[in-house]
Chains A and B, each alone.
Chain A
Amino acid sequence: MEPTRDIHGTLSDLLDRILDKGVIINADVIITLAGIPLIAVSLKAAVAGMETMLEYGVMAEWDERTRADARESRKQTVPV
């Protein structure tokens, strides 16, 4: 297959390369536009925390306890 060369069709590929890659000069003589995307770091951490909790079964314990409570109280509720 032939590679796509059309500049409009590959603008996103160019942006990926030119903004995030290429040689960077590591010196005090450089000004460069800090292209730091605004990412909600704390949100990321929170979401990841939940995933990890699930993976490591933190909620399994919680679930177990809830089910036990439900049985004891003999309510007609579903153990979730």
Chain B
Amino acid sequence: MAIEIDEGNLKQGLLGLVITLVEIIQDALRHQAVRRMEGGSLTEAEMERLGEALIELDSAVAQIKEEMGLVETVKNIRGGLDGVVNELIDDFINPQKLFAAADRERLN
């Protein structure tokens, strides 16, 4: 993945990166929120407040992206990051290994 930033789009690029990072943190927050919820450690009132806060965050980020014309930029950076992560995860849990092991078992 290459994040191309030249002088002309430097500001836009940086802003895009920042918002992308904010979105990733948002994902982490949602992830944790669901875990808390599933773990049963949140009261109903806490869940309500958490939910509302996340909604506000969602709309604030969406608004910034819209206003700054960053929708496409962020989408592209995230797409690139996803590609990098998938590639990496693939290396660890490549199904090839799974089936190679099964094949060996069958041969023995």
Contact = CB atoms under 8 A, between A and B. Distances in A.
Interface of A: 38-40, 43-44, 47-48, 50-51, 54, 59-60, 63, 78-80
A80 B84 contact: no
Given A40-B1, A47-B88, A78 B50 contact: yes
Contacts, number: 44
B85 A54 contact: no
Question: Interface residues of B toward A: which range?
Answer: 20 to 34
Contact of B50 (A44, A54, A80): A80
Interface string B49-73: 1101110000000000000000000
A78 B55 CA distance: 12
B2 interface: yes
B29 interface: yes
Interface in B75-97: 81, 84-85, 87-89
A43 B31 CA distance: 22
A44 B46 CA distance: 35
B33 A38 contact: no
B28 A59 contact: yes
Contacts of A51: 85, 89
Given A59-B32, A63-B32, A79-B49, 20 more contacts: A38-B2, A39-B1, A39-B87, A43-B1, A43-B84, A44-B84, A44-B85, A44-B87, A44-B88, A47-B81, A47-B88, A48-B85, A48-B88, A51-B89, A54-B31, A60-B32, A78-B49, A78-B53, A79-B46, A80-B53
Nearest to A43: B84
Contacts of A48: 85, 88-89
B35 interface: yes
A53 B85 CA distance: 14
Contacts of B53: 78, 80
